[in-house]
């Protein structure tokens, strides 16, 4: 069966119709899905500015202009894979523990037939249950984490599950392959040197935003590819990895970040890896201007879909 693709923009204007991601068919309109884009409108784990619960809808709206052929990767992802929009996972905004359980069980349901997920957040708390589900399917996974922040802190106000703690919990729970963990884009002040010492102890390597600037995207991508190897890998992208000039619509902005071009080129440099899951999180539209953040996030999600489509069947 030939994949059902996006709505034809020559017959229906891009600004009309339902705002599914890239105007793709809904999950209930297809017989199967190789890749599903799913939203998690949850931001109860934030430590500063709220609003990422509105991120999935914002990114979908900004994705209307995406087109079916990806020239940089030389692939038409919607032709080689059945890609769908699975809607949103509805979670309890008043109970973080229950929300985490709901996200994990929903991700397991969605991937039961071999479907791989690109998830639109929501805050970064959602990465933990998504990683649990990925590890349930593939064993402990490698991680490439794009972010201004480490997100390996222990607690906030005594709370163990927040948007600043998911990767510490994931290491403690054994869902990550600690031989292949990387942060990219880290910058800004920390609480103390112990933050870096703890992070190193967990097994993470750090590529700072200054490293990207000085070394260039090709060298950074090569280093990441070498570190991941042929392991199943999860890609987690906090949109605040971008400089606020490129992504103002986020909850914890930090000066000195990547450009959208640098982020996209690094992602494209990861082609061929066995990407088993991915997320784009922390888009907070209330702080966005002219859809800068939404457009950037929609293109990041499109590249993640394209990476999965390019490697479809490999390592499965």
Per-residue pLDDT of the chain (316 residues; tens, 9 = 90+): 568 888 788 778 888 888 899 999 999 999 999 999 999 999 999 999 999 999 999 999 999 999 999 999 999 999 999 999 999 999 999 999 999 999 999 999 999 999 999 999 999 999 999 999 999 999 999 999 999 999 999 999 999 999 999 999 999 999 999 999 999 999 999 999 999 999 999 999 999 999 999 999 999 999 999 999 999 999 999 999 999 999 999 999 999 999 999 999 999 999 999 999 999 999 999 999 999 999 999 999 999 999 999 986 443 3
Residue extents of the structural domains in the chain: 21-310
Distance CA 216, CA 273 (A): 20
CA distances (Å), origin 161, targets 111, 185, 284: 24, 23, 20
Query: What does the pLDDT read at residue 1?
Result: 57
Cβ–Cβ < 8 Å for 292, 276: no
Distance CA 184, CA 165 (A): 17
Eight-state DSSP code of residue 156 = B
Cβ–Cβ < 8 Å for 301, 63: yes
Query: What token pair was written down for 55?
Result: 């991120």
Superfamily of domain 21-310: Ureohydrolase domain (3.40.800.10)
Distance CA 130, CA 117 (A): 9
E runs forming strands in 14-122: 35-40, 83-88, 116-121
Pairing verdict, β 141-146 and 116-121: unpaired
Full-model pTM: 0.96
Cβ–Cβ < 8 Å for 76, 69: yes
SS3 266: helix
Give which of 79, 128, 122 is closest to 101, Cα–Cα: 128
Query: What does the pLDDT read at residue 147?
Result: 98
């Amino acid at each position: 069966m030939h994949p059902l693709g996006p709505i034809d923009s020559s017959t229906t204007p891009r600004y009309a119709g339902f705002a599914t991601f890239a105007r793709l068919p809904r999950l209930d309109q297809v017989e199967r899905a190789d890749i599903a884009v799913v939203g998690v409108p949850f931001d109860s784990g934030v430590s500063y500015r709220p609003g990422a619960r509105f991120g999935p809808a914002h990114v979908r709206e900004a994705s209307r202009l995406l087109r079916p052929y990806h020239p940089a990767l030389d692939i038409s992802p919607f032709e080689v894979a059945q890609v769908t929009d699975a809607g949103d996972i509805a979670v309890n905004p008043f109970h973080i523990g229950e929300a985490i359980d709901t996200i994990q069980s929903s991700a397991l349901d969605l991937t039961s037939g071999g479907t791989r997920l690109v998830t639109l957040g929501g805050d970064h708390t959602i990465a933990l249950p998504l990683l649990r589900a990925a590890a349930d399917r593939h064993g402990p996974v490698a991680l490439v984490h794009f972010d201004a922040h480490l997100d390996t802190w222990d607690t906030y106000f005594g709370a163990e599950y927040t948007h600043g703690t998911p990767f510490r919990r994931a290491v403690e729970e054994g869902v990550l392959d600690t031989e292949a963990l990387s942060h990219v884009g880290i910058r800004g002040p920390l609480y103390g040197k112990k933050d870096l010492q703890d992070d190193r102890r967990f097994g993470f390597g750090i590529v700072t935003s200054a490293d990207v600037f000085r070394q260039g995207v090709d060298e950074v991508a090569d280093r990441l590819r070498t570190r991941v190897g042929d392991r199943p890998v999860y890609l987690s992208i906090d949109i605040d990895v971008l400089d606020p000039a490129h992504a103002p619509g986020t909850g914890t902005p930090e000066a000195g970040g990547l450009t959208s071009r640098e982020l996209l080129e690094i992602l494209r440099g990861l082609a061929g890896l066995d990407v088993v899951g991915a997320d784009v999180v922390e888009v907070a539209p209330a702080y966005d201007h002219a859809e800068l953040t939404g457009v950037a996030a929609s293109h990041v999600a499109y590249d993640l879909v394209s990476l999965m489509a390019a490697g479809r069947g490999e390592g499965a």
